[in-house]
Amino acid sequence: MNLLFPLGLLGLLGIAVLILIYILKPNYQQKIISSTYVWKLSLRYKRKRVPINRLRSILLLICQILIITSCAFILARPIIEAVQRNRSEEKIAVIDASANMLTQGESGSRFERAVEQVRQLAEETFAKGERLSVIIAGETASYLVQRFGADMSEDVYARLDALVQPTLQCSYGVGDIDGAMDLAEDILEDNPDAEVLLYTATEYIDAGSATVVDVSEDGEWNAAILDVQASISENYYTFTISVACYGRDEELTVLLDFDGVNYEKTDFEYSTQVRCSGGETQNLVLNTASWNGPMGVYSFDSLRVNVQATEQDSFSYDNNFYYYASQETIRIQYASSRPNDFFRAALNAVRTNTVLSREWNIEASLLSQSDPRATEGYDFYIYEEEIPEVMPVDGVVMLVNPVEVPSGVGIVLADEPTEGDFTLSLSGSSAILDGINPASFIVTQYRKVTLNDGFEPLLTIDGDPVMLLRNEDREKIVLLSFGINFSNPLVTDFSLLFLNLYKYFFPYSLVNVPEENADGTIGQTMPTTVFEVGDTAIIDSVGDLVSISVPDGNVSEYGSFPAEITLSAPGAYTLTQTLMSNRELTRNFYVKLPASESNIFQTKDSLELIAPEQVSGEEDEDLLLWFAVPLVALLFIEWLLQIKENF
């Protein structure tokens, strides 16, 4: 128990006054009177009441002492302090590790300046015997140190130094400031008195209870390429280039450097000027069919877009942008003793498919009966109503209505075909059959499979497998035991079946991870050559191994597919895979910075930090009532005692 006004205890001096009054109070005195009869009776009566009177007097004195004591304590304002947590001054430093913190100034990058200022904060904090927490707001917020005291100072300094040496540990994506504030709130729950400091160059209109420390420097500015898009109109490319300038107004030179243009594979450069001001995005549209460049562009391997100004800007990570349009070639050989239009239509559908054309350039060799049949050098072999002398081992082999199957394959066919009117049925599930309606195929002749070793049946007729698949590392075979000439396949269904076969054996090597749509459905995966830092991509492979070289020169290898990779650094990447034919395929793709990070002078509305209310002295328990109630009771008792004594 504590007293808010200890001088109130001076009221206890009233007890001494009360005792003095009792001492000075007159007692019974012996008097000589003329008659004793009446006084003898009075004396006899008084002797009977003396013990009770003394007890009443003692109780009255005690009651009055307690009344004075209660009044004195009421004047002194007694309280019981609320249970206080072990609070002390504490600092929570949040370092913004967004890509824009890589902006260079005269004294290094913003990130380096932030780390140096936090180091100074740590020295001041530990000198006062206080605790420090450091949170790094990278792509995912995390603690660097959590509630370290002076005894851990050397560890704190070492961890801070490691953020800038030997390489900057700043991310290339959008910083998770909200996540960092969530971590700070966890500490504030335990110590509401802790101060949160955010080291950043982003301006917040409402920073709430946090202290924003600006680490930018005068003179910083940035010229940026935000995006490059390409489209084809009337067989020629049109490029849309988005550029902006932040921190100053500039006349920018946009340079386009082409490689492998058109059939001649020509290289050339083209430049143009664009005026940027006020931080506004400028969209430069270049239609190569009508521009003043050297030629119209209907195909190209790669394009590098570079932005230049009169002097070097402060943020160089968005001065270049690479756009890749090269396609890897897949070679298909079609050999048939009885060629038909269905295969020609199916091959043409694959070659002209707008999605496949983003990934592959398909070369189809349609052989006549007199042309020699190759058994190597192709990625996909189709033999219709004939068999190869030697089974190719460097690609996918499709056998359509063969009279017999080469030995060692694991398939034995009946000597004579079975005739009639038959419809196909599914046997299990496979991506090859996606979207296919087997009932649309009517087959009049097929050969029964009498031996099926190591093959998976996909389609059947009355339980007899007529489409079988073997998909092993070095042996990929598809068998159709019915002839296209002895069926009525709809062009769309058969083309879709062949397209599924192609996509099954030659998957897109690199696609985006689809996002969830507003209605809850998942979007499509699409092949692309441009990603953003922080994106997740799916890689697949025709072969057994994929290697990816990243901008810093390191190479990562993947042997299990499909595999997901998170792209954490901007720049040009190269994906390499090897086909069954041992032909190496390479694909380039580019990872750009988030466009928001190019604006190195961002302004945001508010900082999401929910700080708990601090506990104050008003939450202490006031004991006034605990003394007031007994005081009233004592006054009532004292009144009763006074009545008994006087009446």
Distance CA 569, CA 423 (A): 54
Angle (CA) 121 126 131, round 5° = 90
Dihedral angle sign, alpha carbons of residues 202, 204, 207, 212: positive
Q: Which two tokens stand for residue 491?
A: 């062009």
What DSSP line would sit under 48-116, residue for residue? HHHHHHHHHHHHHHHHHHHHHHHHHHHHH-EEE---------EEEEEEE--GGGG-EETTEEHHHHHHH
Instruction: State pLDDT tens for residues 267-311.
Output: 999 999 999 999 999 999 999 999 988 889 999 999 999 999 989
For residues 32 and 204, which has the higher predicted lDDT (pLDDT)? 204
Instruction: State pLDDT tens for residues 39-74.
Output: 565 655 555 555 556 677 777 778 878 888 888 788
Looking at residue 43, what is its pLDDT?
57
Angle (CA) 563 533 253, round 5° = 135
Contact 500, 492 (CB under 8 A): no
Contact 545, 559 (CB under 8 A): yes
Residue 616 pLDDT greater than 60, yes or no: no
Contact 537, 564 (CB under 8 A): yes
Looking at residue 44, what is its pLDDT?
56
What proportion of the chain, given as a percentage, has pLDDT over 90? 56
- Averaged pLDDT score across all residues of the chain: 87
pLDDT band at 194, cuts 50/70/90?
very high
The average pLDDT across 35-42 equals 58
147 phi/psi in degrees, rounded to 5 = 55, 50
32 phi/psi in degrees, rounded to 5 = -95, 120
The average pLDDT across 204-227 equals 95
Looking at residue 220, what is its pLDDT?
97
**What are the residues facing 578 on neighbouring strands?**
584
Distance CA 634, CA 647 (A): 20
What DSSP line would sit under 407-450, residue for residue? TTSSEEE-SS-EEEEEE-EE-S--GGGTT--GGG-EEEEE--EE
pLDDT band at 2, cuts 50/70/90?
confident
pLDDT band at 13, cuts 50/70/90?
confident
Residue 518 pLDDT greater than 80, yes or no: no
Give the orientation angle of helix 37-76 with respect to helix 624-646, to 10 degrees. Answer: 170
Q: Which two tokens stand for residue 379?
A: 């990625």
Q: Which two tokens stand for residue 382?
A: 């189709």
Q: Which of the residue ranges 37-46, 308-317, 437-446, 593-602 would you say has the lowest mean pLDDT?
A: 37-46
Distance CA 295, CA 236 (A): 10
Distance CA 593, CA 531 (A): 9
Q: Which contacts of 266-275 are long-range, i.e. CB under 8 A and separated by 24 or more positions?
A: 266/295, 268/293, 268/294, 268/295, 270/294, 274/243, 275/249, 275/250, 275/251
Looking at residue 617, what is its pLDDT?
43
Residue 86 pLDDT greater than 70, yes or no: no
Residue 340 pLDDT greater than 90, yes or no: no
The average pLDDT across 6-12 equals 78
Angle (CA) 603 604 610, round 5° = 145
Residue 340, SS3 per DSSP: coil
Looking at residue 210, what is its pLDDT?
94
Domains of the chain and any CATH numbers: 2-83+622-646 (no CATH), 90-217 (3.40.50.410), 222-313 (2.60.40.3230), 328-505 (3.40.50.880), 522-591 (2.60.40.1930)
Q: Which of the residue ranges 89-98, 481-490, 577-586 would you say has the lowest mean pLDDT?
A: 481-490
The average pLDDT across 433-437 equals 89
What proportion of the chain, given as a percentage, has pLDDT over 70? 92
| Residue from 607, 601, 613, 612 nearest 197 by CA | 607
For residues 314 and 28, which has the higher predicted lDDT (pLDDT)? 314
